[in-house]
Amino acid sequence: MKLTTKGRYAVSALADIAATGGEAPVALSDIALRQGISLSYLEQLFGKLRRAGLVESVRGVAGGYALTAPASQMRVADIVAAVDEEIRTTACAAGSTVGCKGTSARCLTHDLWDELGRQIEVFLNAVTLEDIIERRVLGMAAVNAPAREGAQIEDSSREDAGVKDLAHETRFAGAAE
């Protein structure tokens, strides 16, 4: 599973606008230069982003593109969807009678990959452009990590150069010791 350049470049370009544009429109040529993305590719993506209502174009000498909403309200999932990016983690199509193996059966790991796809969707819906430009994304995925049934967490503290450091060791039920 991989997010293609359409989704990655669209998010990068809109994050660039959020970080540098403020209220003023930003020229695609400037985004292309800063982000290392082909101008013609950006033009294709921004046509889709404009039709989805995420950006507006401004004509003229000081023209370019501006966000239609504050960065705090622009979800990454909406940007990815606007450029027709589908993140698929299973080989079978949703609602299809043909499973992962090309028959009516699903593969043994189907539920794992299907749930991963749901987690990616939840994560991308939780992240905004503001989170990206304010560098708040790192660690967000762990916020809602489910607790493991039967897991035991031991805390031990130690002194290291006068700084207290917590070491965590997790043992799962049934794990060999």
**pLDDT value for 59:** 92
Mean pLDDT by 10 residues, the chain (177 residues): 81 96 89 96 96 95 93 95 77 62 72 84 93 90 57 41 32 34
- For residue 140, CA distances in Å to 26, 59, 128, 157 come to 29, 38, 11, 25
Q: What angle do CA 60, 62, 68 make, to 5 degrees?
A: 90
Beta strand 152-160 with 163-171 is: antiparallel
Q: Look at the domain 5-142 and name its fold.
A: Arc Repressor Mutant, subunit A (1.10.10)
Q: Is the Cβ–Cβ distance between 116 and 89 less than 8 Å? A: yes
Within a 13 Å sphere around the CA of 71, how many CA atoms are in the beta-carbon half? 20
Q: Among 90, 24, 89, which residue's Cα sits nearest to residue 60? A: 24
- Domain ranges (residues) in the chain: 5-142
**pLDDT value for 115:** 84
* pTM of the complete model: 0.71
Q: Is the Cβ–Cβ distance between 90 and 140 less than 8 Å? A: no
**pLDDT value for 28:** 96
**pLDDT value for 169:** 32
**pLDDT value for 111:** 81
